[in-house]
Structure 1
Amino acid sequence: MEYGKKKKSLDAVTIAGLGLLTALVIVLQMLGGFIRFGQFSVSLVLAPIVIGAALYGVWAGGWLGFVFGVVVLFRDSAIFLAINPLATVVIVLLKGFLAGLAAGAVYKALAPKNSFLATLAASVVCPVVNTGVFLLGCYLFFMEWVRTMAEQLNFASVAAFMFGGLVGANFLFELLTNIVLNPIIMRIIAIRKKHVAGKPKKGMRGSQ
């Protein structure tokens, strides 16, 4: 009976926490739409995705990444939607989902050994997967557009445009932001885990 109550309480905490992080992802990505490097806006949501993945598990990270993808699809995908709508939808949603999933998996694998390394690795893996899947999608479905843009912007090669002009500045911004915020992310995760574990306990406070 007591176990059932505790499980329900934890489920409620998870739902509330995920709901809050989902709202935060939406708001931050909307704000990120106003900050642009080159063709696309930056992603301000990778830190909340890492936090969600660390606190609530691999699939929670995937969910938050998927929500991030939905916002990007509506705000920042017009160029690709005009060329190949189906491929755009799949790539944009998949890259966010896999980024969150990967962050959660890495954190889960490393956390028992070293929480600092786990958080740092998840913070790095998240933008790497997000950008990597996007570049792979461009290679598979949008190379004609990529070649045209590389020529128009006088890049030395298609690869130079893809890594330098298309995603370079955004990726570095997102990666450095996650690394800089890593201590804060660690602190949030630690505080939340202590709270969920019942430290401090409300009952003990009330009796003092």
Structure 2
Amino acid sequence: MRASEKTRRLTGLALMTAIIVVLQVVASFVKFGPFPITLALAPIIIGAALYGPKAGAYLGGVFGIVVLLACILGWDSGGSILWNANPFLTAVICLGKGILSGLCAGLVYRAVAGSGRSHGRMLGGSILAGIVSPVVNTGLFCLCLTLLFHDILLSWAGGTEVIYYILFVLTGINFLVELAVNLVLSTVIVRVVGARMHA
């Protein structure tokens, strides 16, 4: 990699890192249910599309660290309960779901868009990456919550059927908002990647 290309990559990743931190700190105080909404997936997807799956994993890790800090500091009341119950598992969940959502977004984008400049393939890659990222993020959270914090999940459900509670109360609105934001931003992602490729 040439020095100028390396500098541009580092600058781009630093910018995406800052955007993720700011968006997720702000999102810690925006709730449509027991947990804060995730606003940081779009810059993770953009970074993954621009710089590849490893960059997506790194940016997802940054997101995971901010989410973990929100749990520790009590900004995320649900996450704080998990942190107090088991700090290690909470850290693994926060970091793992973030890293894997970024990595999977990068892998899906690369598999669909390839290294070509086809607008259609880039748009398809962006849309699919925009779907995969929140699905992995939310899906892993729900799976880990069910397997590792089952008693807490049952107490939150308060007698409601657990599957219903997970789908319609715990994550439903948050997931739909995250998915909608990513799909709306798919065309923006294509423009950013296209501009970067032609620079």
Using the size of structure 1 for normalisation, the TM-score is: 0.87
Superposed CA RMSD in Å reads: 1.2
In 1, distance between residues paired with 2:31 and 2:17? 23
Structure 1 spans left out of the alignment, 5+ residues: 1-5, 196-208
Deviation for aligned residue 1:148: 1.2
In the alignment, is residue 163 of structure 1 matched against residue 167 of structure 2?
yes
Counterpart among 156, 180, 183 of residue 179 in structure 1:
183
Counterpart among 117, 128, 135 of residue 128 in structure 1:
135
In 2, distance between residues paired with 1:66 and 1:185? 20
Q: Classify the secondary structure of the residue corresponding to 2:29.
A: coil
Misfit runs of 4+, over 6 Å: none
**Structure 1 residue identity aligned to 2:173:** A
Counterpart among 15, 21, 24 of residue 26 in structure 1:
21
Deviation for aligned residue 1:104: 0.1
- The alignment of Structure 1 onto Structure 2 pairs a total of residues equal to 187
Q: Classify the secondary structure of the residue corresponding to 2:2.
A: helix
In the alignment, is residue 193 of structure 1 matched against residue 188 of structure 2?
no
Show CA shifts across 1:160-201 (max 9, x none): 111111111110010011011111111111111211xxxxxx
Indicate the larger mover: 50-59 or 68-77: 68-77
Structure 2 residue aligned with 1:203: none
In 1, distance between residues paired with 2:29 and 2:196? 31
In 1, distance between residues paired with 2:167 and 2:85? 21
Structure 2 residue aligned with 1:9: 4
Percent identical among aligned pairs is 43
Structure 1 residue aligned with 2:96: 94
In 2, distance between residues paired with 1:10 and 1:179? 29
Using the size of structure 2 for normalisation, the TM-score is: 0.91
**Structure 2 residue identity aligned to 1:164:** F
